[in-house]
Structure 1
Amino acid sequence: MHWDFPQPHIYPVAPQVADIDGLDHTNNAVYVRWCEQAGWSHSEALGLDLAAYRRLDRAMAIAKAEYDYLLPTSLGDDLRLGTWLCGTDGKMTMERRFQLVRVSDGATVMRGRWQLVCIEIGSGKPRRMPPEFCDAYLPAVVANS
């Protein structure tokens, strides 16, 4: 598979019956859900799960999300959703990217991008990333080209 960036965190997915819309392809909202699941999977792999977020009273919240739907997918397609952290100011913001690839032909079917901001969970206000976030996330950031 050709990935947009090196060493993606890979989250395997396959459309199920409930994911298929009236046009007989995967509904776009399903891709959004998969991105959320892949983002959490990556965060957990880096050592930050929901319990850590709550303990630290901090979270990386989506400030902006963009999705480019390039090709349709169908029931049972074997897909790989790659995700990366691609940018950060090292203080409050990060960027997460996504690339969904169909295994059978290697085609990229969707790309996504999130702009993330660190918030204090209790107030919802932007706050600096705690050291635990910097220690886990910053080493995982890849060069943004």
Structure 2
Amino acid sequence: MRNRLLCCVIICLLKADFKNAIVTQFPRHRIIGTGKEFILHCSQNMNHVAMFWYRQDPGFGLKLVYYSPGPGSIEKGDVSEGYHVFRNNMTHFPLTLKSASTNQTSVYLCASSSATAPHTHILSAQKKVQTTEEKAALKILHRK
């Protein structure tokens, strides 16, 4: 039974056409000196309306830097200070570090989406676990 299930999963994945959906980000790796300007390039070939830049600091979850609901439109994320973006077409969304600093040492990720709403930047792994007392207090508040 397990082999049959595994076979079905593999077949389903093989049928999905991921080879045509590409988000490209470059350069892949870069070490730069503080105070220097640096540009990270991002492009996508899916004609997705929305594009996003995230950063992931060591030991933490993703934080939204900037997003674009469409060409010519830019929205700030949670950590947009020290960065600049522009988007004048559907496929490209470069991120500029204006003056690189040590607090910008991070993994940067670009994404695109056919939806225009920004993706949630509070992941379940980042959410605070509620104590029994907090859960009880919330139940009391909901009853009122």
- TM tier, shorter chain? under 0.3
> Which of the two has higher C-alpha Rg?
2
Q: Higher relative contact order by CA 8 Å / sep ≥ 6: 1 or 2?
A: 1
Q: TM-score, normalised by structure 1?
A: 0.23
Q: TM-score, normalised by structure 2?
A: 0.23
Name whichever structure is richer in helix by fraction.
1
